Chains A and B, each alone.
Chain A
Amino acid sequence: DIQMTQFPSTLSASVGETVIITCRASESVSHWVAWYQQKPGKAPMLLIYKASSLEYGVPSRFSGSESGTEFTLTISRLQPDDFATYYCQQYHTYSTFGQGTRLE
């Protein structure tokens, strides 16, 4: 099974700051990585697909990048609505999620 190691598990930041969340795949997943935002009691929402493609309707302050088996989600100019939990997902071989990052 492909493992996705996501870090940090918790991230403290303030409105206006820029934060980076990282996922490392246990083997090559090419660019088949997505990022999701989840708020309490709600379903996850797709932010980024194919490592760096922004889902329609998602603000451009969200961006994704890749370097080998390491993938990052960058959130620039944090807004109050951005404080949530974020998950990465690989969908190269079946599907696996990272453990999640709670942004507080």
Chain B
Amino acid sequence: QVWLQESGPGLVRPSRTLSLTCSVSGTSVTDQNYFWSWIRQPPGKGLEWLGSISHTKGTNFQPSLSSRLTMSLDTSANHFSLRLTSVTAADTAVYYCAREPGSLDYWGQGILVTVS
């Protein structure tokens, strides 16, 4: 059974860096059929795709965030990570990780990150 779980701090100070990790089980981050994605959802609002990383560690980012966003893949630990620099209150959201064979077929439960 495929399972994804986000982890990281729930509170980040403004101007600091937000770092999250997505632990993956039941599937491998080295599988060439998938990208590994991050999506966020501000409280009470809609979904925003942030970016994705492939098994070759190639990345695609939301253009509006590309200057602040980094993603990495740890094949030995079977997890992938997100770093978002210079955060503001506008980055407060539930952050989800997901498996992406094009669409997003498996999602983590989400983690609320508050910038304050």
Binding site for B on A (CB under 8 A): 1, 32, 34, 36, 42-46, 49-50, 55, 87, 89, 91, 94-100
Contacts of A50 in B (CB 8 A): 102-103
- Bound together, the chains give a CA A44 to CA B99 distance in angstroms of 12
| A46-B105 in contact given A95-B49, A97-B47 (Cβ < 8 Å) | yes
Contact in complex: B49, A96 (CB < 8 Å): yes
- Bound together, the chains give a CA A12 to CA B45 distance in angstroms of 19
Contacts of A87 in B (CB 8 A): 46-47
Which residues between 57 and 116 of chain B lie within 8 Å of chain A, taking CB atoms?
A: 60, 62-63, 96, 98, 100, 102-105, 107-110
Contacts of B49 in A (CB 8 A): 89, 94-97
Contact in complex: B109, A32 (CB < 8 Å): no
A-B CB proximity, top 7 nearest: A34-B103, A95-B49, A43-B107, A49-B103, A97-B47, A100-B46, A46-B105
Chain A's closest residue to B110 (CB) is A43
Contact in complex: A43, B62 (CB < 8 Å): no
Contacts of B105 in A (CB 8 A): 46, 49, 55
Select which of B37, B46, B108, B110 is within 8 A of A99 by beta carbon: B46
- Bound together, the chains give a CA A100 to CA B45 distance in angstroms of 9
- A to B CB contacts below 8 Å, 13 in the list: A34-B103, A36-B47, A43-B107, A44-B47, A44-B96, A44-B104, A49-B105, A50-B103, A89-B104, A94-B49, A95-B37, A95-B52, A97-B48
B12–chain A nearest beta-carbon distance, Å: 21
Contact in complex: B102, A44 (CB < 8 Å): no
- Bound together, the chains give a CA A44 to CA B105 distance in angstroms of 9
- Bound together, the chains give a CA A91 to CA B53 distance in angstroms of 14
Contact in complex: B96, A43 (CB < 8 Å): yes
Chain A's closest residue to B51 (CB) is A94
Chain B's closest residue to A45 (CB) is B107
B104–chain A nearest beta-carbon distance, Å: 6
Select which of B37, B48, B102, B108 is within 8 A of A43 by beta carbon: B108
